[in-house]
Amino acid sequence: MKSENSTLVQIEDCVRNLGDENAVVRESARMELIALGGDEVVRALIEALTDYRAQVRWEAAKALHSLADPVAADALVQALDDENDGVRWVAAEALIALKETGLRAVLGGLAVRAGSVTFCHSAHHVLQALKGLSSTVAPVLQALKMSQPAVTTPPVAYEACLELSHLS
């Protein structure tokens, strides 16, 4: 029990250090979290994706990219609409690393969040990278290019989700 508590304290310290002014301290904390891995680290990083500081959100997304844990997919999809473009980019790269899980999460996100131009741009990046996984991606990419993607994309993304679930 004592080692479990010390691990939790270590995780908390590392997450706190993701917001340090010194880039070396931040990187060291991120690398330590990646080395620790596991459910508690993933949960802490998911929570850090909502921190008020963009640098902490970026570091959390970067660590989640390396960990590639499917549990983080929904939180990473939320980060596709982050106010910071660096956070959005790293979250997109993390979803790409999740392959089919990332694809499903982004399609699900598009079915309900296509009204956000920022989200659509980030989702497009993920879908473009993962289009080789399924033929269901091409119509979604096409819908995103239409003049009103907020209207055209949700039903196409929903249909792609359904098709993917039938393929599994």
Give the C-alpha separation, 35 to 91, whole Å: 20
pLDDT of residue 1: 47
Name which of 18, 6, 27, 30 is nearest 54 in CA terms: 18
Q: What is the pLDDT of residue 165?
A: 83
Angle, helix 117-130 to helix 137-144, in steps of 10 degrees: 150
Domain ranges of the chain: 1-70, 99-168
Cα angle value 118/100/131 (rounded, 5°): 65
Residue 4: burial class (beta carbons within 10 Å; 0-12, 13-18, 19+): exposed
Averaged over successive runs of 10 residues, the pLDDT of the chain (168 residues) comes to: 77 97 97 97 98 98 98 98 98 97 96 93 97 93 93 94 81
Q: What angle do CA 149, 79, 129 make, to 5 degrees?
A: 60
Sign for the CA dihedral angle at 80, 124, 144, 100 comes to negative
- Looking at CATH, the fold of the domain delimited by 1-70 is given as Leucine-rich Repeat Variant (1.25.10)
- Report the pLDDT value the prediction gives residue 9, as an integer from 0 to 100: 93
pLDDT at res. 99: 96
Do residues 61 and 94 lie in contact, with contact meaning Cβ atoms separated by under 8 Å?
A: yes
Query: What confidence score (pLDDT) does residue 168 get?
Result: 61
pTM: 0.94
